Amino acid sequence: MADHLPVEGVTHSFVEANGIRIHVARAGAGELLVLLHGWPEFWYVYSKLIPQLAPRFDVIVPDLRGFGQTDKPYDGPTDQMTPTVLADDLEALADALELKRFGLVSHDVGAMVAQPFAYTRADRLSGLFFFNCPYPGIGTRWMAPDHVREIWYQTFHQQPWAVDLLGTSREACRIYFKGMLGHWAHDAGAFDDDLEHWVDNFMAPGNLQGGFNYYISIAKLRLAIARGEAPKVPVIDVPTQFLWGRHDPVIKAEWVDRIPDYFSNATVEIAEDAGHFVHYEAPALAADRITTFFDRLG
């Protein structure tokens, strides 16, 4: 992972923030826009989107704690890599880069970070843009009998032998991530051209465990959701837009139904030709909607 994957106009740096060294990919000039990735992802999942946003925005794409080239400050499994800790990382990174106010685009794990950030730091946000987003309104539907088979991986990632199993060879790693990416994308072959980059990333020291630590850290919350005992959260008043892939089997498009209960100023659009990874599968659509949204906010 010493070499950075080439993407037009992107520069790379490392920023000391919240006690760790955060890798940041950056491109463009203009209004500040931070992009947060999910799992199984790292900054490069935005490689198709960044060049389309860079003419209008100063695009900042960090690897989250435990992911990509950002530090893995834990020796092994930990339950300390919660969304709140990752939101603290984001605040520290924004401070280090002197980002007083910025737009925040996020997906999956990144969306779980964006929400606690918005609860307590709304004054720093010009707007929120979400791709397929795990939000509290999904509730116990995560664990419904016809859906629980889709979230098996979250339990698998908590097993103490999971990293040893997937890390036995590049082929084992390749089989796993090809299967996950292909199942969650609308087109099963969407990631074929970049699959080896994913294998390189997750075979790098600490990266399998780094990503899995997120699932260990949210295990108690998952159980609370399953019992219908999830803690209440504030309504987010920051202007928000969702662009949700129609064919996502794990965070379903029909689950947008309760967004008004948790976001007071939100619009929702369904991306009809995308699955879980709208930003990768439909980058032109994503760039157009992000640009239009933030232009409207001024």
Contact 104, 111 (CB under 8 A): no
3-state DSSP assignment of residue 80: coil
Which residue is catalytic, options 157, 276, 279, 280?
A: 276
List, in sequence order, every residue forming a beta bridge with 20; answer none if it has no partner: 17
Question: Which parts of the chain are beta strand (E)?
Answer: 11-17, 20-28, 31-36, 57-62, 102-106, 125-130, 240-245, 266-271
Cα 206 to Cα 212: distance, rounded to the nearest angstrom: 10
- Note if 12 is an active site residue: no
Which residue is catalytic, options 215, 247, 248, 279?
A: 215
Distance separating the N- and C-terminal Cα atoms of the chain:
38
Contact 208, 90 (CB under 8 A): no
Which residue is catalytic, options 108, 135, 247, 248?
A: 108
- Note if 214 is an active site residue: no
Cis before 239 (ω within 30): no
Say how many residues make up the chain.
Answer: 298
Cα 170 to Cα 185: distance, rounded to the nearest angstrom: 22
CB atoms within 10 A of CB 58: 18
- Note if 192 is an active site residue: no
Amino acid identity of residue 168, one-letter, is T
Cα 269 to Cα 267: distance, rounded to the nearest angstrom: 7
Q: Which residues 6+ apart lie within 8 Å of 95 measured at CB?
A: 17
3-state DSSP assignment of residue 187: coil
Contact 60, 24 (CB under 8 A): yes
Active site residues: 108, 215, 276
